[in-house]
Amino acid sequence: MTSSISNTVVPTPTTEIRIANKYQIRRKIGSGSFGDIYLGVNVISGEEVAIKLENIHSRHPQLEYESKVYKALAGGTGIPFLRWFGIQNNYNAMVIDLLGPSLEDLFNFCERRFSYKTVILLADQLITRLEYIHAKSFIHRDVKPDNFLMGIGRRGNQVSVIDFGLAKRYRNSKTYLHIPYRENKNLTGTARYASVNTHLGVEQSRRDDLESLVYVMIYFLRGSLPWQGLKAATKKQKYDRIMEKKMTVTTEVLCRGLPNEFSVLLNYTKSLRFEDRPDYIYMRQLLKEFFVRQEYKYDFVFDWTIYKYRQLYGKQERTDQSSSGQAQVQNQQGQLQRSQTHQGPSQQGHLQQAHLQSGQIQQSQIPNQNFNNLNLSTQGIQGQSSQVYSANPVVQESSDQ
C-alpha cells in the first residue's frame, strides 16, 4: 500500500514570490500530500489563476509529470489550460486555470444529496470527459467528487477534471498497443470509489475509471456508500474491510430504490474486460432516456442553483409580498414545496427532486447571478477560490470514512 509522502508539504511561500515573472501568489487555497495550491494573479492582465507548488527536494516529485499530462490533454473541453510549468525559488511550480468549487463542495452545500436531474446532467459531462481522456491514451485512476470542479463565469455550467498526478498511459499513443494485464498491484486512487478489480490488485484500465464514476453517481444519490465509516486497527485492514464490503454488497442492494438505469450502468462497467473499449454512447444514452422520460429540462439548473436562489431571495419574498415579481416567485416556491411532498419510493430523501423534475424554475427566471460564488464553509474558503485544485495522496484516508 502506498502511503502519503511526509516531506512534500510546501512551506508557505512569501507573497513576494513571482512565478514566471508575471504570476503573483496571493494566498493558499488548498493542500495535499504532493504540494499546496495558491490563488495567484497575472500582474499584467489582472486575471486570477491557480498555482500549484511542490518542493523540489520531494522524494517523489510528481508535478512535472502532471504538467506533461496536462500538455497531452490540452484542448479538451473541461481540461484546465496549463499556462506555465518550471522551477521557481526551490519550488516546482505549475500555473493553470482557476476553477470553481468541487462537486464534493457543492454536495455538502446541498445537504449531501443530489437530485436525479443534477446527477444525470453531471454524469453526461463526466462520461464525455473520461471518454476524451481515454481517447488520449490516459486513464485518470482517481475518479472522485473532489477531482471534478465546476467552472466560473461563462463556463459556470461546465465540469472540469483535475489532478492528473496518478494518471497513467494505458496504451501506446501511436500504436494503440494496450498495457499488459498484471496483478499484485498496490491500490492507487481513493479506496471509497475504487473499482473491485483495483482492490484485488489488478492493473487498472478504462473500465475502472467508469466503475468509479458509477460509484460517484450512487454516492450523490444516496448520500453515502455502504463501505464508508468502517473501522480497523491499521490502514491495510481498513482497505481490506472496504474491499470485502464492496464485494459482498450486491448491485441490487446498492441500487435499491434507484432507477434501474444505475444498476444497469454498474453491471455494465463490471462486465467489461481489461482491454475493452467502453461504450460511452450507450452509457450516456441510457441516462438520457431516463432524463427524457422524467421530462427533465437540459437547462443547467443544478441543485446548488436552487439552493443559492432561495438563499438570495427567500428572505426578500417573506418581507415584501406585495411586489408582483416577488409574488410570482413566491408562488413558484409554494409549488416547489408541494411537489417535494409527493415523491415515489425511488425519490425518498432527495431534496428538491420533484421541483427539478418539473422544471418549474427555468434558467431565464433566475436573475443574472454568479452561482459559483457559494459560501462553502466546509472548506473554509469563500467564492471562486474554493478548492480550485486538489493535490491528493495515492490513497486518501479521509475519503474512506
The answer to whether residue 389 is domain-embedded is no
Do 124 and 54 belong to one domain?
Answer: no
| Separation between Cα atoms, residue 124 and residue 289, nearest integer Å | 12
79 and 147, same domain (yes or no): no
Is residue 159 a part of any domain in this protein? yes
**d(C-alpha 238, C-alpha 45), whole Å:** 49
Query: Which of 52, 80, 97 is the last residue in one of the domains?
Result: 97
* pLDDT of res. 84: 98
Query: Are 53 and 189 in the same domain?
Result: no
Q: Does 208 share its domain with 284? A: yes
Of 249, 281, 304, the residue that ends a domain is 304
Q: Do 121 and 87 contact (CB within 8 A), yes or no?
A: no
**Contacts with 98 (C-beta within 8 Å, 6 or more apart), sequence order:** 39, 48, 49, 50, 152, 384, 385, 388
Query: Where residue 223 sits, what CATH number does that domain have?
Result: 1.10.510.10
Q: How confident is the model at residue 15 (pLDDT cuts 50, 70, 90)?
A: low
Phi-psi region of 164 (alpha: psi -120 to 50; beta: other; left: phi over 0): alpha
Tell me: do 84 and 112 sit in the same domain: no
Query: Is 144 among the domain residues?
Result: yes
Range of the domain at 69: 26-97
Residue 97 has pLDDT above 80, yes or no: yes
C-alpha cell at 1: 500500500
**Whether residue 152 sits in one domain with residue 76:** no
Three cell numbers, residue 226 = 455502504
Q: For 64-80, what is each residue's pLDDT tens digit?
A: 999 999 999 999 999 99
**Is 221 within the bounds of a domain?**
yes
Q: How many other C-beta atoms are found inside a 10 Å radius of the C-beta of residue 396? A: 19
Active site residues: 142
DSSP codes joined into one string, 69-110: HHHHHTT-TT---EEEEEEETTEEEEEEE----BHHHHHHHT
User: Are 38 and 127 part of one and the same domain?
Assistant: no
| CA 368 from centre of chain | 25
Instruction: Output the known binding site for ATP.
Output: 52
Does a structural domain hold residue 157? yes
Query: CA dist 47 to 24, 156, 317, 355, Å?
Result: 11, 17, 36, 37
Strand partners, 28: 38
Instruction: Give pLDDT tens digits for 139-148.
Output: 999 999 999 9
The residue with greater pLDDT, 354 or 55, is 55
Q: pLDDT tens-digit profile of 280-320?
A: 999 999 999 999 999 999 999 999 999 998 888 875 555 55
Q: Collect all residues with Cβ–Cβ distance below 8 Å to 249 and sequence separation of at least 6.
A: 226, 227
Are 170 and 57 contained in the same domain? no
Q: How confident is the model at residue 383 (pLDDT cuts 50, 70, 90)?
A: very low
Q: Cell 489582472 maps to which residue?
A: 46
pLDDT of residue 363: 47
Instruction: Indicate if 115 and 211 belong to the same structural domain.
Output: yes
The answer to whether position 347 is within a domain reads no
3-state secondary structure of 129: helix
Q: Confirm whether 19 is domain-assigned.
A: no
Place of cell 454498474: 266
The rounded distance, in Å, linking the Cα atoms of 194 and 334 is 41
Q: How many domains does the chain have?
A: 2
Domain end call among 304, 333, 360: 304
CA–CA gap between residue 360 and residue 365 (Å, rounded):
9
- Residue 185 is classified by DSSP as P
Note whether residue 171 is domain-resident.
yes
Q: Are residues 127 and 63 in the same domain?
A: no
* Same domain (yes/no): 89, 129: no
Task: For residues 124 and 221, state if they share a domain.
Answer: yes
Residue 41 belongs to a domain with what CATH number? 3.30.200.20
- With pLDDT > 70 as the criterion, what percentage of the chain qualifies? 74
